[in-house]
Amino acid sequence: MSAPVSAPIDVAQQLRVERFLYEEAALLDAYRLTEWLALVTDDVVYRMPVALPDEPPSSPRSEVERSLMHFEDDHGGLSVRVARLGSKAAWSEQPRPLLRRAITNVRVYPGEDGQLDVRSNFLLYQYQHAAPVDLLAGARNDVLCRSGEGFRIRRRTIELDQRVLVTRSIGVLF
């Protein structure tokens, strides 16, 4: 998705969206996940596809939609993850890793039914034990719907810039 750079920009809306994404990122970094879960809609679709081979796609779009995913969650699936991550027996998170993410390159486009299509980039740093630096880069393609003065996430598709995953864990949320 893109728009000509000369397209008019709604500065107030851009700032509102950025602020929402920054506050959301702060909740994820701090493992305040129950609060985070309140920011997604009941019909949320949350996905991270497995990168397919870099050949021209020969299969129709509908099949690509059914490709393997690292995440393919609805609200129930995300609730299970949040419940697990909140458990003292979530061993992979003991000791709790230090997470720090930067959300950048935020671009806001008009979507369907007054919703917003929002693209952003992320860098997620994870530290658990003294180990090689664990840095994940990628992009998120969100559909945000308005909710009062703020927004809620209706759809999130995460594009992780790794083909073979090389990280402590992708058991956290993005």
Residue type for position 27: L
146 contacts 13 by C-beta, under 8 angstroms:
no
Q: Could you tell me the strand order of the sheet in which 116-127 lies?
A: 69-73, 40-49, 150-160, 134-147, 116-127, 98-110
By beta-carbon proximity to other proteins, the closer residue of 69 and 145 is: 69
By beta-carbon proximity to other proteins, the closer residue of 54 and 112 is: 54
What is the Cβ-side half-sphere exposure of residue 47, based on CA atoms within 13 angstroms?
Answer: 16
By beta-carbon proximity to other proteins, the closer residue of 77 and 150 is: 77
Rounded to an integer, what distance in angstroms lies between the CA atom of residue 85 and that of residue 79?
10
By beta-carbon proximity to other proteins, the closer residue of 84 and 107 is: 84
150 contacts 164 by C-beta, under 8 angstroms:
no
By beta-carbon proximity to other proteins, the closer residue of 104 and 169 is: 169
Torsion of CA 47, 53, 54, 56, to 10 degrees: -90
The footprint of other proteins (CB under 8 A) covers: 48-55, 58-59, 63-64, 66-73, 76-77, 79-81, 83-84, 87, 89-92, 129, 131, 163-167, 169-171
Q: How far is the CB of 91 from other proteins (least distance, A)?
A: 5
